[in-house]
Amino acid sequence: MCKVARVGVKRALELAQFDTFADRSGLEAFLKHGDFDLTLSGVISQVIYWLVILLFVITGAKILGLTEVA
């Protein structure tokens, strides 16, 4: 489920040409300046991936009654 969300967000950002916008705004240059081989759409899709994982962990903890985790 998380991978589907990550791939979906990345493809949606690519279709919207988000990387081109980020390149023109200078954000891509900022990432490349730090010797990172990343695109801004890749970073955003990875953040969505981890947010979905966190959502499932919190939901699972609530179902199991683990109030300390949730």
Q: Which of 23, 24, 55 shows the shortest CA–CA distance to 39?
A: 23
- Supply the pLDDT for residue 22: 81
Three-class DSSP category at 43: helix
Integer CA distances (angstroms), 31 to 36, 49, 51, 65, in order = 6, 20, 22, 41
Q: pTM for the whole thing? A: 0.73
Neighbours of 10 (CB within 10 A): 19
- Supply the pLDDT for residue 25: 84
- Supply the pLDDT for residue 50: 94
- Supply the pLDDT for residue 24: 85
- What is the tens place of the pLDDT at every residue in 21-66? 888 888 777 777 777 777 888 888 999 999 999 999 999 999 999 8
